[in-house]
Amino acid sequence: MLRLRTLKALALSASLACLPITAVQAAQDDVTIGFIVKKPEQAWFINEQQAATELGEKNGFEVVKLSGVDGQEVLSAIDNLHSQGAQGFVICPPDVRLGPVIKRRAEQYDMKVVTVDDRFLNSDGEPMQDVPHLGMSGYKIGQQVGNAIAKEIEARGWNMEDVAALRITNYELPTAKERTDGATDALLDAGFNKANIFDAPQQNTDTSSAFAAASPVLSKRGNFKHWVIYALNEESVLGGVRASEQYGLAPEDVIGVGINGSGAAFAEFSRENPTGFFGTVAVSSTMHGRDSAENLYTWITGGDKPPANTETAGTLMTRDNWQQVREELDL
């Protein structure tokens, strides 16, 4: 690999004569960064890593894609990056409370670190302001979810008072809480009955943990005919929708709205018949992957430290417009 990189550097320097000074310096720096994600099998994270890799190919730096499903795997991923000569990494951590440990390990190796999606917490449970972060504006995107659900309740002519909400929660993760809080507030503002909101706390941020959390809640509240479902992401809403199907609810009695706009949603919208998964607030995972990697690369090559917190916005994607939104968001 080293030889390949040297060749790449030579080829680059041969074609650098006409580029501005900064580009010349950056290319000669021979930069390698890591991109560590908590759920490497999920389409959202695959796309982020892919976008970072493509940016690296374009700008002449190397991106090493790594999995960090728990603290131990993250620490060995950092060791691995150090042995490859990496100068820093982007990470979506498996547990935000690992922030101080991850930062310390990075500092030992003189590596720079930025977070994407899930922001590190310090030992007081506060966001670590000194680690640059890029992620969703959780509360606002949550409100979009709540508004989309309220609008669809109206479109279906349901009586708001008789509708139950399956709120799949993950209060360990601040961005998750912000998202479900935003959705709840928007629903309450639209006249939803607070007493009809039932919590299904999930242990993780994936479909199977949401399914496991949702099933008992549905069985316990069998008196409701109409259900709405929301959670921190579409993978979890899909878990809730699958549980509603297993419980015997018809798709027309369920309105699930997720967040992300990744391959999981595309697969659902591509099914021949509509399911209870009505929509998702799509955010560009391409942009998250690309911009976080670019921020880090700029910082490593002598540019400014990225801002403490960059918040991104979303667009509602449904069965009707998903292909168009997908294109707009470069997904």
Cα 56 to Cα 326: distance, rounded to the nearest angstrom: 23
Among 260, 280, 286, 301, binds ligand FCA (CB under 6 A): 260
- List the interface residues with ligand FCA, window 46-85 (CB under 6 A): none
For residue 144, the minimal CB distance to ligand FCA (Å) is: 13
Do the strands 277-282 and 315-318 form a parallel or antiparallel pair, or are they unpaired?
antiparallel
For residue 175, the minimal CB distance to ligand FCA (Å) is: 6
For residue 55, the minimal CB distance to ligand FCA (Å) is: 18
Nearer Cβ to ligand FCA (26/116): 116
**Cα radius of gyration (the chain):** 22
Among 62, 95, 117, 181, binds ligand FCA (CB under 6 A): 117
- List the interface residues with ligand FCA, window 265-324 (CB under 6 A): none
For residue 30, the minimal CB distance to ligand FCA (Å) is: 31
Nearer Cβ to ligand FCA (117/291): 117
Nearer Cβ to ligand FCA (184/262): 262
Among 77, 92, 243, 265, binds ligand FCA (CB under 6 A): 92
- List the interface residues with ligand FCA, window 233-252 (CB under 6 A): 233
Among 118, 178, 268, 294, binds ligand FCA (CB under 6 A): 118
| Contact in structure between 138 and 118 (CB atoms under 8 Å) | no
Does 205 bind ligand FCA (CB under 6 A)? Our answer is: yes
For residue 205, the minimal CB distance to ligand FCA (Å) is: 4
Among 26, 27, 44, 282, binds ligand FCA (CB under 6 A): 44
For residue 37, the minimal CB distance to ligand FCA (Å) is: 9
Q: Determine the size of the site formed for ligand FCA (CB under 6 A).
A: 11
Nearest to 283 by CA among 113, 132, 144, 114: 144
Question: What is the contact surface with ligand FCA in residues (CB under 6 A)?
Answer: 44, 92, 117-118, 136, 175, 205, 232-233, 259-260
